[in-house]
Amino acid sequence: MQITETLAMPQPTFRVNKTDAQWRQILTPAQFQVLRQAATEPPYSNILNNEHRRGIFKCGGCDWPLFASQTKFDSHTGWPSFYQPINRQAVVTRTDRTLFMVRTEVLCANCGGHLGHVFNDGPRPTGLRYCMNGIAMRFYPG
């Protein structure tokens, strides 16, 4: 699957809407920076990069199901990587033109939290690499 502008949603709307003050009450400062301000955690800094049990990865802001462990793979980039979301309603994408490049940003479809970016260099069956910030997610084994 090739990433194209047609996949991107320029102005998504989200079910969960909070003020910055409300988000700061429920998120750690580092989570707030990543989920609400689109920061990136340092590579190899999050334990979810090495999480290999069966389970579900959910949004760290709203607990929305994002990725199944069966789609996780080691991309050797230092961030948890997946070849597809848990379903079509899990995430939305939009064009990110920061840092002097064009990338596809991945957001939680429920709260709009910044999760990471998706690239066209992943494994089969999709050929996609959802490169996610571990701090933007929680893991639920099972």
Q: Which long-range contacts (CB under 8 A, 24 or more apart) does 17-26 make?
A: 17/111, 18/111, 23/61, 26/61
Mind listing the pLDDT tens digit for each residue in 62-117?
999 999 999 999 999 999 999 999 999 999 999 999 888 899 999 999 999 999 99
| Percent of the residues in the chain that have a pLDDT greater than 90, as a whole number | 87
Q: Is residue 1 predicted with pLDDT exceeding 50?
A: no
Q: Name the 3-class secondary structure at 6.
A: helix
C-alpha to C-alpha distance for 26 and 62, rounded to whole angstroms: 10
Determine the pLDDT at residue 4.
39
Mean pLDDT, residues 22-30: 97
Q: Is residue 31 predicted with pLDDT exceeding 50?
A: yes
CA distances from 117 to 104, 131, 141 (A): 6, 5, 24
Q: What SS3 string covers 28-45?
A: CHHHHHHHHHCCCCCCCC
Could you list the active site residues? 131
